[in-house]
Structure 1
Amino acid sequence: MNVPTPARCFPLLRRAAGLLHVAALAAAALIAGPAQAWSNHALCTWPALSAMPELASHAPVKVERLETFLAADPAGLAKLLQDEEAWARAHVPNYPPRPDALAFQPDSANGARLLAHFLKAVRVNPGARLALYLQLPPGQAAGARTVLAEADVTVMKTDEAAKLNSFVALREGELVSVNDVIASATDEPDYGLDYGLWQDNGTAHGALYGFGKQPFGNPAVEWSSQGPLHLGYFHEAGIIYRAAPFLKRAYPEYRIHLWRSLAAFALRSGHDYWGWRFAGWGLHYLQDLTQPYHARVLPGVGVMRMLGINALDIVGVHGPKDRLIQLVTNRHFALENFERGWMRAAYGRGFEADVGIQALRNTALDGKTPYADDWPRRVVSAHANAAADAVDASLLRWFQPKYMSDPAYVFGVSEAGVDTHAELAKTPAAHEGLKHDLAPLLGQLGATSRAFVRSLIAR
């Protein structure tokens, strides 16, 4: 059989965009499980924001229902959302415009109607729970508050991370700390806000929202549909985009700017609870972009190798592509699984001394440049993209080979209840080595989170 040379691969690849679709799917971690950059954002947000004196001294905020906020100034909110749509059309590459018929309608005093108009205008899943709740840090008791079931806060059916969390109900008028509001909200976009938004997801709202067909991932898989809003492959080689133009259809910038603008509007108008809850939503997507597997299509794989493997696939040699996809997917999942176990263990003992907690609270990177609208692409995802190969190499060095190098092993399928953190802890040198190598990622997450929140305090 004749195998194409690299020079002959390029024209073939330009005509074979669909074949890189599977590689993008693997990098987005949409084959076998959720597209989560960090398994529980709140566990990282609490320590990151605890290093902000501005929040430590901030007065508690009064809880209110979303309908209460919407009814306070519907005309002003309509103007803000109109301006926000104009901003997205002008600044977000390949942005799918919101249909004009979905513009927020401020002409109803009915809270339920206002809420329905709002959810359509911001194009989120209309079934999202939007409960008044807090997530509790590991080990914290609920006290007199009502404990909520997972189904009270998330519509997702396959959220293993949520099953480990504790949620308590809030009452309208109750006072809660800003840090708790933001931290709880940073995990909330993974609870179904972005589920089923695409034309081919088989949902009524997906048919109305104007996003078009899902650009990558499996439209029939629950978690897959949120991926294009939670990751951003902004710094790939030009040949990759020519072969796979759908990679450009990723929109975390849209979500970040939208929720940040709503946060600023709510804070200006005295609705601090929703100001900080919206801030947490926006921060979720920004934190997603600090994870290398959400900023690089295939970490650890060079451009020529990627293109060569796809060229082989074109001529019928599928094995190398299939093996590579499974290996990268396993590494992505193993990293997220380790981070979740690491953070939960850190809350249980040695909190102040843990290298990850210290990295999240390290303010050495703060204040170098103020947060700006182009940060998600220019700063945050660029840093994660640049770190991707080193992170991949670190995982290969420290993790058990079955997770890293065995294409017959399917993470989350071959074994149930895997806890890579607990397993690696049995080998202290590897356990500490991996934590040391991953700590800079958490440092970037912490600094990025504080810059985002400070940009709202300064307004």
Structure 2
Amino acid sequence: MAKPSSVVCVAVRRSVAALALAALSLVAAPAHAWSNHALCTWPALAALPEFTALPPAPAESLASFLKAEASGLQKLLDDEEAWAQRHVPNYPARPAALAFRADPSLSADELQRRFIAALRINPASKLPLFLQLRPGQGGAGRAALTEADVTPLKTKESSKFDAFVALREGEPVPVIDIVASATDEPDYGLDIGIWSDNGTPHGAAYGFGKQPFGNPKVEFSSQAPMHIGFFHESAIVYKAAPFLGRTFPEYRVHLWRSLAAYALKTGHPYWGWRFAGWALHYLQDLTQPYHARVLPGISTARMLGINTLDIVGVKGPKERAITFVSNRHFALENYQLRWLRAAHLSGRDDDLAFRALRDTALDAGAPYRDDSPRQAIAKASHEASDATDAAVVAALPPKYTSDPDYTFGVTETGLDLRAELAKASPAAVAPMEQALLPLLRQFGLHTRSFVRGLLAAR
């Protein structure tokens, strides 16, 4: 017969695992850490004079880059695989058959296909020469692109975009626009369908295994384990729910950073800065507390209590907890998108959001290192998660944060949360903005730290 203590331990682990899985089922929705990364990246990097002084970079197709650098990329990607196996916990090794090999007999299309397979990204990714325009900015005579031109996603999100334009090969492009546009690009489907249970040919071939959490049959759900970093949960949570240890933004960041550094050193600044933008996306995701903590605002002890009630048939507390955290996460994103878009359209350089993103007061004390995603960025977000959750609850009307019958984005569609608060009173927006300002400062700090490190490594 099992000892009572061991029975209790098993029950505890099952309770935590069940609640964590239920919470992470919310990742089936198209939620991001930040609704549009570019809107925050432009002001964050505008505060880095050594970056803004860079000359424009000529646009270059991926095929041209690969043709010129195939041999060097073969070694780089082999080195990257070795690094990931040594340094990324629970890393799923790349199958040997996907190793990139420089072969001069290959066509440009086949070389690109093999490169994409070695990166283990969605082969349907569009990867055009393009820019996202700032709100209110004209395209300077460039051809307009639709959402379908830049993303293969079936789940359309036109509300988060302003406009895209095409670039011509060789066209000089401001480096800040290359990076900012690229910081939003990983949300255009790079990490979709990559797990073995996603029902895709590439998911079956890539060797990542089954999707750790979320619904593998829902399109957007499959990107979450690459964009979330649950690195600082309590020991009992990991013991109960080991799938939480299978989140891999560190792998993506290091891969894209290495490619960026290589491209910059070998005379391909367009791809150097575009890869840098991809890396920044995952770093910036980790500055959002809802991407660094499973259930902000809910302690491990409370998780256990809630799930114990669920086990004995009292379902309400568990369902409410999950709905509340989900709604607060989505509300934060909704407000950020509307605030930043309005700030860009206003043309006011002194907007509080821009000032927070440009705040360099802490920059000197945050040099970028390989362990920064885990030990600096995600750790700070995890530590701030309870306070952020509480601030969102205090700032917003209860229906958005504490109504079990309200589902954000479903109960009401097309919601502009900032406009809704402003209707009530101009002063009503202040508490929500105060909740966001510390997160925007972290976003700007780590964005500049990463880029400063790349500049020094050239």
TM-score relative to the length of structure 1: 0.96
1:436 to 416, 434, 437: 434
1:257 maps to which of 247, 254, 257? 254
Alignment of 1:30-69 (within 5 A): 30-31=27-28, 33-69=29-65
Aligned equivalents of 2:442 and 2:373: distance in 1?
A: 12
**Structure 1, 174-183 or 365-374: larger mean CA deviation:** 365-374
Match of 1:244 in 2: 241
Hey, what does 2:94 align to over in structure 1?
98
Q: What is the total number of aligned residue pairs between the two structures?
A: 452
Q: Deviations over 1:311-367 (max 9, x none)?
A: 222333322111111111111101100000000011121531211110001111112
Give yes or no for the alignment of 1:20 onto 2:19. yes
The superposition leaves residues 173-204 of structure 1 with CA deviations (integer Å, 9 ceiling, x where unpaired) of: 00001100000000000000000000000111
- Quick check: 1:75 aligned with 2:74? no
Distance 1:413 1:9 in 2: 39
**Equivalent of 1:187, from 173, 177, 184?**
184
Cα displacement string for residues 200-222 of structure 1 (whole angstroms, at most 9, x for unaligned residues): 00111000000000000000111
Q: Which whole-Å CA distance do the structure 2 matches of 1:161 and 1:295 have between them?
A: 27
Whether contact under 8 Å (2:297, 2:386) holds in the other structure is: yes
Which residue matches 1:342?
339
* Deviations 1:133-182, CA, capped at 9 Å, x for gaps: 00000000112100100000011122425653200000000000110000
Q: Select 1:273's aligned residue among 262, 265, 270.
A: 270
User: Structure 1's 435 and 166: CA in aligned 2 closer, same or farther, altered over 3 A?
Assistant: same
Aligned in 2, Cα 1:309/1:334: closer, same or farther, shift over 3 Å? same
Q: Shift of residue 18 of structure 1?
A: 4.8
Matching of residues 300-339 of structure 1 within 5 Å: 300-339=297-336
Alignment of 1:391-430 (within 5 A): 391-426=388-423, 427-430=425-428
Mapped to 2, the partners of 1:354 and 1:375 lie a distance apart of 29
2:196 maps to which of 190, 196, 199: 199
Give the alignment partner of residue 453 of structure 1, picking from 416, 434, 451: 451
- CA drift at 1:110: 1.6
Inter-partner Cα distance in structure 2 for 1:19 and 1:302: 15
Give yes or no for contact 1:124–1:197 (8 Å, CA) kept in 2: yes
Report SS of the residue matched to 1:313.
helix
Alignment partners' CA distance in 2, 1:268 and 1:203: 36
Structure 1 residues 100 and 420 mapped into 2: Cα distance closer, same or farther (>3 Å)?
same
Amino acid at match of 1:273: Y
Residue 6 (structure 1) shift: 12
Distance apart, 1:36 and its partner CA: 0.6
Counterpart of 2:49, as a letter, is P
Q: CA deviation at 1:428?
A: 2.2
* Conservation of the 8 A alpha-carbon contact between 2:16 and 2:304: no
- Deviation of residue 9 (structure 1)? 5.3
Q: What secondary structure, in the 3-state scheme, does the structure 1 residue paired with 2:165 have?
A: strand
Amino acid of the residue matched to residue 391 of structure 2?
Answer: S
- Report the counterpart of residue 142 of structure 1 in structure 2: 139
Describe the shift of the 1:317–1:10 C-alpha distance in structure 2 as closer, same or farther (beyond 3 A): farther
Q: Which amino acid aligns with 1:102?
A: L
Q: Is the 8 A contact 1:150 1:162 kept in 2?
A: no
- How is 1:341-360 mapped onto 2 (pairs within 5 angstroms)? 341-349=338-346, 351-360=348-357
For the pair 1:292 / 2:289, whether they are aligned, the reply is yes
Please list the CA deviations of residues 365-423 of structure 1 after superposition, one character each: whole Å capped at 9, or x if unmatched: 11213100000000000111111111111111111111101111111111111111111
Any conservation in 2 of the 1:289–1:384 contact (CA below 8 Å)?
yes
Output aligned runs, 1:145-224, within 5 Å. 145-160=142-157, 164-224=161-221
8 Å CA contact retained: 2:253, 2:283: yes
User: Match of 1:316, SS?
Assistant: coil
Residue 378 of structure 1 aligns with an amino acid whose one-letter code is Q
The equivalent residue for 2:83 is 87
CA contact (8 A) 2:392 2:435 kept: no
User: CA offset at residue 429 of structure 1?
Assistant: 2.2
Provide the rounded CA distance (Å) in 1 between the counterparts of 2:214 and 2:363: 36
Give the alignment's TM-score, normalised by structure 2.
Answer: 0.96
Conservation of the 8 A alpha-carbon contact between 2:133 and 2:162: yes
Counterpart of 1:95 in structure 2: which amino acid? Y
Shift of 1:39: 0.0
Q: Given the superposition, is the C-alpha separation of residues 420 and 431 from structure 1 closer, same or farther in structure 2, using an over 3 Å criterion?
A: same
- Mapped partners of 1:392, 1:88: distance in 2: 33
In structure 2, what is the Cα distance between the partners aligned to 1:118 and 1:401?
49
User: Which deviates more, 356-365 or 151-160?
Assistant: 151-160
Partner of residue 367, structure 2? 370
Task: Give me the whole-angstrom Cα distance separating, in 2, the residues matched to 1:156 and 1:380.
Answer: 29
Q: What letter matches 1:294 in structure 2? A: H
What corresponds to 1:11 in structure 2? 10
Percent identity for Structure 1 against Structure 2:
59
Cα gap change, 1:6 to 1:428, in 2 (>3 Å): farther
Change (3 A) 1:24 1:133: same
Question: Aligned partners of 1:104, 1:164: CA distance in 2, in Å?
Answer: 34
- What is the identity, as a one-letter code, of the residue corresponding to 1:287? Q
Following superposition, the deviation at residue 125 of structure 1 comes to 0.2
